Amino acid sequence: MRKKIIAGNWKMNKTLSEGLSLASEVVNIANDEVPADVSVVLCTPAIHLAQVSAIVKDSETVSLGAQNVSEHESGAYTGDISADMVKSVGASFVIIGHSERREYHFETNAQLAARVKLALDKGLTPIFCCGESLETREAGEHVDFVNNQLKESLFDLSAEEMSKVVIAYEPIWAIGTGITASSDQAQEMHKSIRTSLAGNFGAEVADGISILYGGSMKPDNAQELLAQPDVDGGLIGGASLKSRDFIAIAKSY
């Protein structure tokens, strides 16, 4: 059985006090209402992690994640955050390779491979993001493009390491646009990702990996997306900023 994961990516939103209120609301509602087999993850701005950690620490349902991590252990990297630091504040997940970071911070597949490896070595669960632009999809190259992202960032891991990675398929054209991939488009890509993982790591590993969908997921479209056989959860941006909407998605399984 694959883990069902609903992760909220707050991106660069919420002051500390706003973030703490949102986290408290999510924890309170999730503890009562989210089914026991669904894990909820809050990926907050790094500066909020330590204090949100205190809010989620007694919850069986909600855990904490960072939005990025350095590929370096420690040292003179002003403004960066190490895997040890993320771990030390009680976070257990980290988003790696979000398309916004690939675009605005020029993160490369090779750099992301190093981040995934270091995060795993430090006991964090990477949520590795992949996904194509509209141009790439319209050229019919989306499957090859995503496969190449997986190959260059993940395929040097051992099967045991890979089994600890969560993947998020986030088509760039669906992020923050209100345009969601259709359930067929999502299923097609998730299945292709799983097939590609099976080819490199074996069917058993591939069958155990949670593949999340991200891109304008909302309470009114979540159920159909989450009903697809290879969609194991969601990585939610905008709708994770409202506790009721976010929890409604987690409950729509």
Please give the Cα distance from 216 to 3 (Å, whole number).
Answer: 22
Q: Which of residues 122-181 bind ligand 13P (CB under 6 A)?
A: 170, 175-176
**Minimum distance, C-beta of residue 74 to ligand 13P, in the bound complex (Å):** 27
Nearer to ligand 13P, 123 or 176 (CB): 176
Report the half-sphere exposure of 227 (CA within 13 A, side-chain side).
9
Q: Which of residues 26-45 bind ligand 13P (CB under 6 A)?
A: none
Question: For 110-121, b where at least 16 C-beta lie within 10 A, e where not — what string?
Answer: ebbbebbbbbbe
Q: Which of 84, 168, 90 is nearest to 126 (CA)?
A: 168
Binding of residue 19 to ligand 13P (CB under 6 A): no
**Minimum distance, C-beta of residue 213 to ligand 13P, in the bound complex (Å):** 9
Give catalytic residues, as residue numbers: 98, 170
Q: Which of residues 53-112 bind ligand 13P (CB under 6 A)?
A: 98
| Residue with the shortest CB distance to ligand 13P | 237
Report the Cα 49 to chain-centroid distance in Å.
16
**What DSSP letter does each residue of 137-205 carry, written as one string?**
HHTT-HHHHHHHHHHHHHTTS-HHHHTT-EEEE--GGGTTSSPPPPHHHHHHHHHHHHHHHHHHH-HHH
**Minimum distance, C-beta of residue 245 to ligand 13P, in the bound complex (Å):** 10
Q: Which of 189, 238, 243, 249 binds ligand 13P (CB under 6 A)?
A: 238
**Minimum distance, C-beta of residue 75 to ligand 13P, in the bound complex (Å):** 28
Residues 208-237, one symbol each (x = binds ligand 13P by CB under 6 A, - = not), give: ------xxxx-----------------xxx
How big is the site for ligand 13P, counted in residues (CB under 6 A)? 14
DSSP helix/strand/coil, 84: helix
Please give the Cα distance from 77 to 38 (Å, whole number).
Answer: 36
Return residues touching ligand 13P (CB under 6 A). Answer: 9, 98, 170, 175-176, 214-217, 235-239
